Amino acid sequence: MNIPLLYQVRSARGEFVPIADLGSNAEVVQRDLDDLDAFGFRFERHPYRGVAYRGPAERLCPDQIECALNTRLVGRRIAVWNRVTSTNDIAGRAASSRTNDGFVVLAEEQTAGRGRRGRSWFAQPRSSILMSVLLFPPELLDNPAWLTALGAVAAADVVEEWTGRPARIKWPNDVRVAGQKVAGVLVERGQGSIIGIGLNVNTDANEFPESLQSEGTSIYLLTGESADRSEMAKALINRIDEHYSICLIQGSVALKTPWCSRFELLGRVVRVHTKSATFVSRLVDADFEDGLTLNASGGPCRHIPMHEIIELTSAEEAPSPS
């Protein structure tokens, strides 16, 4: 599929482009446009003015995602499935070989998508980005909390880029805009480490289950416009690769600043449930490896290791369902 031709037409921002400007052989250009049409990209053709871009394909396009994807590791191999139980399941099967380091799995639909604590992940077919990334990180980065932070920061980057609105991370694995969930992260470990990301893209309000309509949002609901999911998937792959590559050189600490800057409870009074007690205090520092630092009314700080934390919520408002 001629993706450079697609980008050439799209760069005209809806204006007509003469066929002669798209290639020296008009017959080849028309054939390539026919292929793009058949896949689902939308064009308007005029016998004298040429062709104008009118919208992306509804389904994910592997060629479009891979075109000019200049990543170091993540996405060097990409598979797009129509229907799977879970993208994490497919990535897990690929974990038998370390040659699949950086393998990305995308799907149009999941029949058994998973969330944290055994919850399910809802998504209408062809509405969202359902992605899993298989990694074989070095020991210092092979930490579920850090890997969750990596997926959440990358998703927040993309949400902010597409919507122009601040994206915040709700501990430990949700990305929210104005208190509504737009993305979630699920890390699973076996032979390799898998970062699963679900990002609501073109989901309308009435397409969420009734129980989630007040809690969930999507790129479409935040912008009022449908988004090109293939371009967004490419952006998400790029962001994951960018943060991961930096941390391979600088260590996990390189992710702390972008994570803390979006961590929505930092500086607020929180309620922390641990294996042995519950604490209500101000959260003054957080680290996805070491844990939380609390301070009550200027007294001595209390450190709570990450492995002891069962739940973390705001004490300033009623907790909302995840």
pTM equals 0.92
Please give the structure tokens belonging to residue 58.
């509804």
Q: Tens of pLDDT along the chain (322 residues)?
A: 999 999 999 999 999 999 999 999 999 999 999 999 999 999 999 999 999 999 999 999 999 999 999 899 999 999 999 999 999 999 999 999 999 999 999 999 998 866 555 566 667 889 999 999 999 999 999 999 999 999 999 999 999 999 999 999 998 889 999 999 999 999 999 899 999 999 999 999 888 877 677 789 999 999 999 999 999 999 999 999 999 999 999 999 999 999 999 999 999 999 999 989 999 999 999 988 888 999 977 778 899 998 899 999 998 765 554 4
- Domain ranges (residues) in the chain: 3-55, 62-260, 269-314
The CATH class of 269-314 is mainly beta
Residues with Cβ < 8 Å from 271, sequence gap 6 or more?
278, 279, 280, 312, 313, 314, 315, 319
Q: Tell me the β-bridge partners of 312.
A: 272
Question: Which CATH number is 62-260's, of 3.30.390.50, 1.10.3470.10, 3.30.930.10, 3.90.400.10?
Answer: 3.30.930.10
Q: Is 23 left (phi over 0), alpha (psi -120 to 50) or beta?
A: left
Residue 93 · residue 83 · CB < 8 Å: no
3-class secondary-structure state, position 309 = strand
CATH architecture of 3-55: Orthogonal Bundle (1.10)
Burial of residue 70 (CB within 10 Å: 0-12, 13-18, 19+) is exposed
Residue type, 236: L
